Amino acid sequence: MNRLYWQTLGAGSRDLVLLHGWGLNAEVWRYIAERLSPHFRLHLVDLPGYGRSQGYPALSLAQMAQEILARAPEKAVWLGWSLGGLVASQAALDAPQRVTQLITVASSPCFAAQAPWPGIRPEVLQGFQQQLSDDFQRTVERFLALQTLGSESARQDARLLKSMVLNLPMPPVEVLNGGLTILEQQDLRLPMQQLTQPFLRIYGALDGLVPRKIAPLLDAQWPNSSSAIVDKASHAPFISHPDAFCQLLTNFLQP
């Protein structure tokens, strides 16, 4: 039976839906939930098939967005990290009247590199898919280490991410492979030009998965959006630089 894990907490009057990245779960947000909960009503979600949202097959990006929209508040701010940024973006495209503001974190509308677009080389993503079937846990751990590489607190951040993964059920290999396929194949650059709601993109200056070089490219392609780069942060700026990250959010979301 499919069951989406969904926890609501916080004392604020505005709803904020938080979507995690590939291989992980909603526990990644515990680090900043205390800072945000006085200001917002937080909705912590495990993406379908991840963490405590068990029983799902590998879903397409559109199916993931629809599954979460079915449980989400009628109107909310949506924030997505990495793969979660693609899901939040798809929800904003599918139901623009329900996503009042959009925030993507260390995310890209097109994760795969293609000249002249910077990103992850397709063979790297394909390599992860091959390695998942050979050594599941080690492949996920290697991906987590990549997410923190470069930041001053890289080792500590990687340990934190690893503990969040290993303390909850691991996603089935088919779900992880499905997520990698989305990262490899999805391209929302053109569709997202039509978004009109306030839209903030946050990047880590040292991110090796989503290069900061895409920030000015999207500034030009998406003039209705704005970007911010967290200095000395890698792929998880909300973990390595929680104060700077939360300040960016609250500044953007001020009523």
Catalytic residue chosen out of the listed positions 107, 157, 207, 240: 207
Assess whether 227 carries a catalytic annotation.
no
Catalytic residue chosen out of the listed positions 43, 235, 240, 241: 235
Hey, what amino acid is at 109?
Answer: P
Residue identified by tokens 């599954």 is 67
Distance CA 35, CA 249 (A): 11
Q: What is the CA radius of gyration of the chain?
A: 17
The SS3 of residue 40 is strand
Distance CA 24, CA 7 (A): 16
**Nearest Cα residue to 186 out of 84, 100, 95, 67:** 84
Assess whether 235 carries a catalytic annotation.
yes
Assess whether 82 carries a catalytic annotation.
yes
Distance CA 47, CA 62 (A): 13
The SS3 of residue 117 is strand
Catalytic residue chosen out of the listed positions 53, 82, 225, 234: 82
The SS3 of residue 172 is coil
Distance CA 96, CA 48 (A): 21
Mind telling me the catalytic residues? 82, 207, 235
